[in-house]
Structures are given as structure tokens and as C-alpha cells.
């Protein structure tokens, strides 16, 4: 469904806090979908190491303002919860701007007594990277993948707060009935201001903090519009962040040109997405202009789960040459090949017999899909390994489909290459570059237990409760 630009729904007026807002009737203002361009620029948070954890801590330099809310698609009950969440945010955090995807905004804007924001269909990719401070997903692992795919060509991804409301939800950290607490912790993370002190200067004086430095008072003032948030988080309390590694993917034609820009639509999860051209059509385009300059500056795609190449609709096994750091590894004869991240090790790769890898282990995984040889086992390689997949000439001219996170597919033919390596995580003066920062639920035990940081509560719990790791057969309580 495309975004209808009817005047009743779309307004290019300034944000809802402008002084002229009172000149509009409440009934006309409250149900508008406002222009994305009216939003302030993005606030990029900082992530700092913590002494007792392998995770990072989230620090906002100023309060986040633009929140992208992404409910699960085709799930009416989840959309109802998204409306409830949006109302809570608007009531208790009045300076926040709530953003929905175009097709979702058309569904919910009549149910919300305040304006929301959205970008026209086809322009989300260029708009989100400059405007979105924080992403909140409400669904399963597929919804998190959908959120990550919106920033798959960006080096800096906004933090993702996920509520598990889908089928499995192995990556989801929070239940929706905890949404008030979860949101408060993320919003206030690293502010240095207890929630109970906000908007009450006399409380600061009574606590002996009345002589705070001018910059401290200015920082605290940024959060003074928050109200009704319950008890204090504590001055030093921060949300924990897991930077999930991604794969850096480039698809190259027979002339060595990176063709990602021609393959990738600027928007995802939309029914009207442009279908990428086939490998043969791309090869013909390259032949028409063989002297075209190499696209060295073409941005790479990033995958949070996996890259796959498979035999598609063909009845015969695919034949794929695999190179590791420019060395020939093997000729794979199989239904396909997967290259996965640690996050993706519990997805398609797990079904294909791959190993489970902890998300903090910097690595990538090569997993064959139904290989002809029984000795072809999964390989775990360092994250900086460069892997190249080439179609063997023995494929007899067949075109094979390549899928990136299951969100984008394209056919590749003989002479084309799929180049994959782990994305580098770099700390710069502007914060961390690389990875997908996911808000991790704080340990219920807190601190360290026997000298071991409590980083793994949700991951170990997910293995046991969701994936039924080493679950005994025939035991009482077995889930049917």
C-alpha cells in the first residue's frame, strides 16, 4: 500500500510544538501524518565499555527525539499494542516524535490523538539514516531483521529496543507488559539524572546537588519534560548494548564492478518493491558498457543473519567454488552455501546443521546446505576472513539466486562473484561504526557471579526455553 498524500493525512507543517498549533482544530491536527523532513536531525548515542561486562553501556548526549516504531506485519493484535505504546510515549515523553513506516502509518494514524511522522514510500532509506534516533520493534526475529535491513547500507545503525511478540522471538529481549520499564531505562540511559529528580529543582537542592555545574544543569534540563515515570533508575544506571556483528557483502559482475546499487531497492518490507534484475540482465548491461569505471565507492550491503546461494528452482545440485583469503578452499556440490554471523548461527544455518556461536564471538560461519559429500562440515572462521563464492562453469549456464538476510534476492550467473567479509567495528570520535546495537535486558542477578559477568542471561535462557537445547525426550512437561 502506498502512502496517500491527501491533504487530510499529510502535512508539511512544522512539528507539533510550534506556536501556531492552537490555530488548528484538534480534530484536524490530531490525525495528521506529518512530513518526515520536519523532524530534527538524528541524535547519535555513545557506547562505552563497562568494567564488569563484555557488553557496552548506552549514553545519550541529549534526549532522543525521533523514535521509529515497527510492529510485526500482518498482525492486527500487535498493531493494537503499538498504538497503546505510542500513546504511552506521547503522554509521558511529550518531546518525542513517533515515526511509522508508510503502510503502518496509514493503519494507525486515525487511532492516535496526536500527529505522527512518516516518509513517502521509496524514500525511507535516505530519510531514516538522518532522522531516526532509536528503533523499537514489536514482533519476532523477522521484525528485528526488517529494522536492521532499513540501515543495511549504513555504517552507524540506531539502537534497537525489541519486544518479543512474534512466533519465536529468540532475539527479542522484553515482554510487552514490561514496555514502560524498558522504555524508561533506554530513554534515560547515561543521562546521569534520576527519573524522580526530573522537573523538580528543589529535589536536586535537597539532595545536595544544587551547586551542580552549569553544563550539568543544562544536561539535566534536556530531560525535564519527562513525567510520570515512577521510581528512579539511579544516576549511574545505563542500558546494556550488544553490538551484533554484520557481514559486509558485495556482488560483482564479470568485469569486477560492484553492482549493489543497481540490485538493492531503497526501501524494504514494502509490497511494491522493485524486483532486482537477474544476473543475465546485469551481465548484458555490463557488456553494453564494458569500459565503465569500477564502482569503488558503491556502498556495501550488510547482513545481520546470513548470505545464502542455492540451487533455486533447478533440480540439480549447485556447484560453487569457495575461496578463503584468496586461497581456493573447495568446490562445493550442494543445495547451497550459507555464510552466517554468530547472530545468524541460530537461524537458517542451525537448520542446515551449523554450529551455534555466541554473539560476542567475532567470527563468521560457512555452512553447506545438504552437501553431496558427508565430509563437508561447517567451518568457523575469524571475522576478518574474506570469503568469495564463484559459480563454477560446471553449472552449465544456470543462474543461481543469492539472498541477503532473506530480504533481498538476485540471480547471479557464471563470471559473477559474491564477496563476503565481517564488518569492522571501529570506535571513532563520533561513536562506534559498524554492527547493530541491540538493547539487552539487564541481568536479574546484577553485577558478577563468582567473577563471571552476567552477560548471558537472555542468550542461555533462549537456548533452553525457545530452542529447547539438548531437551530430553519423553520427560514430564515436554511441550507438545
Cα 263 from Cα 255, distance rounded (Å): 16
pLDDT at 382 over 80: yes
Least reliable range by pLDDT among 36-45, 120-129, 280-289, 355-364:
280-289
Residue 198 Cα distances to 89, 222, 237, angstroms = 16, 9, 15
Q: How far is CA 285 from the centre of its chain?
A: 33
Distances (CA, A) of 477 to 375, 461, 466, 472, 473: 37, 17, 14, 10, 10
pLDDT at 367 over 90: yes
Q: Is the pTM of this model over 0.85?
A: no
Cell of 270: 514494502
Q: What percent of the chain has pLDDT over 70?
A: 70
Q: Specify whether the CB–CB gap between 170 and 466 falls below 8 A.
A: yes
| 292 has a pLDDT exceeding 60 | no
Task: Give 88-103 pLDDT, tens digit per residue.
Answer: 999 999 889 999 998 8
C-alpha cell belonging to residue 30: 490530531
Q: Report the C-alpha gap between 362 and 377 in whole angstroms.
A: 20
Identify the pLDDT of residue 289: 45
* Spatial distance between the Cα atoms of 244 and 335, rounded to a whole number of angstroms: 28
Cα 459 from chain centroid (whole Å): 18
Q: Are 368 and 348 in contact (CB under 8 A)?
A: no
Task: Check if the beta carbon of residue 367 is closer than 8 Å to that of residue 338.
Answer: yes
Joined grid coordinates for residue 271 = 509490497
Three-state secondary structure readout of the chain: CCCCCCCCCEECCCCCCCHHHHHCCHHHHCCCEEEHHHCCCCCCCEEEEECCEEEEEEECCCCCCEEEEEECCCCHHHHHHHHHHHHHHHHHCCCCEEECCHHHHHHHHHHCCCCEEECCCCCHHHHHHHHCCEEEEEECHHHHHHHHHCCCCCCCCCCEEEEECCCCCCCCCECHHHHHHHHHHHHHCCCCCCHHHCCCHHHHHHCCCCCCCHHHHHHHHCCCCCCCCCCCCCCCCCCEEEEECCEEEEEECCCCCECHHHHCCCCCCCCCCCCCCCHHHHHHHHHHCCCCCCCCCCCCEEECCEEEEECCCCCCCEEEEEEECCEEEEEEEEEEEEEECCHHHHCHHHHCCCCCCCCCCCEEEEEEEEECCCCCCCEEEECCCEEEEEECHHHCCCCEEEEECCCEEEEECCCCEEEEEECCCEEECCEEECCEEEEECCCCCCCEECCEECCCHHHHHHHHHCCCCCCCCCCCCCCC
pLDDT of residue 475: 63
What are the cell numbers at 456? 548471558
Q: Which residue is listed with cell 514489536?
A: 138
Which pLDDT band, with edges at 50, 70 and 90, does 10 fall under?
A: very low
Q: pLDDT grade, residue 3 (50/70/90)? A: very low
Lowest mean pLDDT across 262-266, 307-311, 319-323, 391-395:
262-266
Name the region of 29 (left: φ>0; alpha: ψ -120 to 50; beta: rest): alpha
For residue 238, how far is the Cα from the chain centroid? 20
Write phi, then psi, for 37 (nearest 5 degrees).
-65, -20
Instruction: Tell me what pLDDT residue 223 has.
Output: 63
Sign of CA dihedral 338, 341, 342, 346: negative
Q: Identify the sign of the CA torsion 237, 82, 163, 426.
A: negative
Residue 23's pLDDT is what?
33
Helix axes 76-92, 179-188, angle to 10 degrees: 50
Q: Does the pLDDT at position 277 exceed 50?
A: no
**Residue with cell string 510492529:** 71
Task: Give how far the C-alpha of residue 14 lies from the chain's centroid of Cα atoms, to the nearest Å.
Answer: 29
Mean pLDDT calculated for residue range 449-459 = 57
pLDDT for res 480: 47
Q: Label residue 443 by pLDDT band (50, 70, 90).
A: low
Amino acid at each position: 500500500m502506498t502512502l496517500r498524500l491527501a491533504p487530510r493525512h499529510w502535512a508539511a507543517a512544522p512539528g507539533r510544538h510550534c506556536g501556531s498549533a492552537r490555530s488548528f482544530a484538534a480534530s484536524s491536527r490530531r490525525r495528521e501524518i506529518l512530513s518526515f523532513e520536519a523532524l530534527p536531525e538524528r541524535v547519535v548515542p555513545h557506547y562505552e565499555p563497562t568494567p564488569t561486562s563484555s557488553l557496552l553501556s548506552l549514553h545519550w548526549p541529549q534526549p532522543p527525539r525521533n523514535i521509529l516504531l515497527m510492529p510485526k506485519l500482518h498482525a492486527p493484535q500487535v498493531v493494537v499494542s503499538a498504538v497503546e505504546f505510542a500513546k504511552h510515549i506521547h503522554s509521558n515523553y511529550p518531546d518525542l516524535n513517533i515515526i511509522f513506516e508508510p503502510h503502518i502509518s496509514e493503519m494507525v494514524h486515525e487511532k492516535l490523538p496526536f500527529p505522527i511522522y512518516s516518509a513517502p514510500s521509496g524514500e525511507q532509506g535516505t530519510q531514516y539514516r538522518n532522522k531516526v534516533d532509536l528503533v523499537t520493534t514489536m514482533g519476532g526475529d523477522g521484525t528485528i531483521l526488517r529494522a536492521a535491513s532499513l540501515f543495511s547500507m549504513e555504517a552507524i545503525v540506531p539502537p534497537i529496543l525489541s519486544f518479543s511478540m512474534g512466533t519465536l522471538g529468540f532475539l527479542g529481549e522484553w515482554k510487552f507488559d514490561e514496555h514502560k520499564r524498558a522504555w524508561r531505562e533506554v530513554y534515560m540511559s547515561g543521562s546521569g539524572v534520576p527519573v524522580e529528580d526530573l522537573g523538580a529543582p528543589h529535589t536536586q537542592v535537597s539532595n545536595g546537588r544544587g551547586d551542580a555545574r552549569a553544563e550539568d544543569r543544562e544536561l539535566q534540563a534536556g530531560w525535564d519534560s519527562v513525567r510520570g515515570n515512577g521510581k528512579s533508575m539511579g544516576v549511574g544506571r545505563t542500558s546494556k548494548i550488544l553490538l551484533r556483528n554484520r557481514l559486509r557483502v558485495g556482488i560483482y559482475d564479470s568485469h569486477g564492478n560492484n553492482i549493489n546499487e543497481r540490485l538493492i531497492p531503497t526501501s524494504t518490507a514494502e509490497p511494491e518493491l522493485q524486483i532486482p534484475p537477474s544476473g543475465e540482465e546485469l551481465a548484458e548491461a555490463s557488456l553494453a558498457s564494458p569500459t565503465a569505471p569500477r564502482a569503488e565507492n558503491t556502498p556495501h550491503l550488510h547482513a545481520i543473519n546470513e548470505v545464502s546461494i542455492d540451487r533455486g528452482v533447478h533440480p540439480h545440485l549447485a556447484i560453487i567454488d569457495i575461496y578463503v583469503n584468496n586461497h581456493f578452499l573447495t568446490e562445493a556440490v550442494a543445495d547451497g552455501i550459507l555464510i552466517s554471523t554468530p547472530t545468524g548461527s541460530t537461524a537458517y544455518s542451525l537448520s542446515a546443521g551449523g554450529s551455534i556461536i555466541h554473539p560476542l564471538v567475532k567470527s563468521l560461519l560457512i555452512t553447506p546446505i545438504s552437501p553431496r559429500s558427508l565430509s563437508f562440515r561447517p567451518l568457523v572462521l575469524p571475522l576478518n576472513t574474506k570469503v568469495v563464492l564463484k559459480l563454477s562453469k560446471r553449472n552449465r549456464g544456470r543462474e543461481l539466486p543469492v539472498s541477503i538476510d532473506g530480504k533481498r534476492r538476485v540471480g547471479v550467473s557464471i563470471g559473477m562473484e559474491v564477496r563476503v567479509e565481517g564488518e569492522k567495528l571501529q570506535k571513532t570520535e563520533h561513536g562506534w561504526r559498524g554492527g547493530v546495537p541491540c538493547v539487552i535486558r539487564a541481568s536479574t542477578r546484577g553485577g558478577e557471579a563468582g567473577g563471571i559477568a552476567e552477560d548471558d542471561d537472555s542468550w542461555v535462557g533462549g537456548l533452553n526455553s525457545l530452542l529447547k537445547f539438548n531437551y530430553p525426550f519423553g520427560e514430564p512437561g515436554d511441550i507438545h
